[in-house]
Amino acid sequence: MNELALKYGCNPNQKPSRIFMKDGGDLPIEVLNGRPGYINFIDAFNSWQLVKELKEATGKPAAASFKHVSPAGAALGLPLSDVEKKALFVEGMELSPLACAYARARGADRLCSYGDWVALSDTCDAETANLIKLEVSDGVIAPAYTPEALEILKTKRKGGYTVIQMDESYEPDPLEQRLIYGICFEQGRNNYRIDASQLENIVTEAKEFPASAKDDLVLALITLKYTQSNSVCYAKDGQTVGVGAGQQSRIHCTRLAGNKADTYYLRQHPKVLELPFIEGIGRPARDNAIDVYISEEHDDVLRDGAWQEVFTVRPDVLTMEEKKAWIATQSGVALGSDAFFPFGDNVERARKSGVAYIAEPGGSIRDDHVIDTCNRYGIVMAFTGMRLFHH
């Protein structure tokens, strides 16, 4: 099949719409269920590249949760602790390594992952399909599906859930083109391979990256390769914990990603883990209640009788002092940046969220100031020498 007609483009008024191969060859995908749209395919192809490269770089199964051309979360298939299982809403579930990867990717930023596009590096198994079935999601792309997994996914969205199978052997043309305002742009495809070798130019006084930190930094950098720039990514234990995408200022990226990392960590606070939810309440309602509970607007969910909509009893307030004390215990976080840090203020903000390891291109006229700031806090930083802008 060389061409696939779509309902419309980014918006309903943008017609006609299609995807097709300019060289006359076959599309490298097969739609197994549902009717994917224009934005679905943009997210599918970006997220597929991300998980494919993560698998190649680490040898581990990978998953991504994509929204509006940027990842809300990406992760490797590492085992989950009991606390992580509870925080990610997967207690008591059978979890394959691939299912662990998706649980981590989806759980990195659950509010932003609402209605996500799923990408899987490996054959989708029943355990992963059962987890996807529980979430509000638009569709999934993977190299293959077990018969049981496909049947599970076909039950979502009243049978209309989009399932795409990707040809693993497909290699795109080294030149890529796109039209903007009727003008054709052409560039070499970004084939830059990211792995631990990019972390060898360590420029700080502290010189050691633990093996886990190397995996986290590779994860962060590959995630940034497919994140709308400017972008900064925090990662820990094989998953992103905060992605700051599409900001005009680098410090705003660092703050946004850091705030998301803080929120992710606060979801593991004992008070949050023991919130007395009403039995049977849906995952999105829980996500919203948790987000409000740990935010500065927590009074909104606890005032008057509003709490009765989600909780069996009125929970204790998580005070600002308790939140600050909890966040201060976070450590060992890795951070990647798609371009150089122009000032040390990015490092100052990052270390407040437990960042101990950084990878960025280097090349700022203030590199010495950024390095000095890292040295002040014992942070290990490598200059990769490669910018990762994605537009």
Q: Which residues are catalytic?
A: 67-68, 230, 391
Please check whether residue 219 is in contact with residue 58, taking contact to mean a CB–CB distance below 8 angstroms: yes
The helix/strand/coil state of 180 is strand
8 near 37, Cβ under 8 Å?
Answer: yes
Q: Is the dihedral of CA 288, 290, 291, 296 positive or negative?
A: positive
Residues constituting the chain: 391
Q: Is there a contact between 36 and 164 (Cβ–Cβ < 8 Å)?
A: yes
What's the order of all strands across the beta sheet hosting 231-236?
29-33, 162-166, 137-142, 116-120, 62-67, 70-76, 239-245, 231-236, 333-337, 355-360, 380-383
**What are 197's two structure tokens?**
């070798």
Task: Map residue 183 onto helix, strand or coil.
Answer: strand
Helix H, strand E, coil C: the string for 230-278 is CEEEEEECCEEEEEEECCCCHHHHHHHHHHHHHHHHHCCCHHHHCCCEC
| Eight-class DSSP state of 316 | P
> What are the two backbone dihedrals, phi and then psi, of residue 195, each rounded to the nearest 5 degrees?
-155, -170
Burial class of residue 47 in the structure, from the number of CB atoms within 10 Å of its CB (0-12 exposed, 13-18 middle, 19+ buried)? buried
Closest-CA residue to 357 (of 377, 379, 372, 340): 379
The Cα–Cα gap between 94 and 97 comes to 10
What contacts 159, CB < 8 A, 6 or more positions away? 33
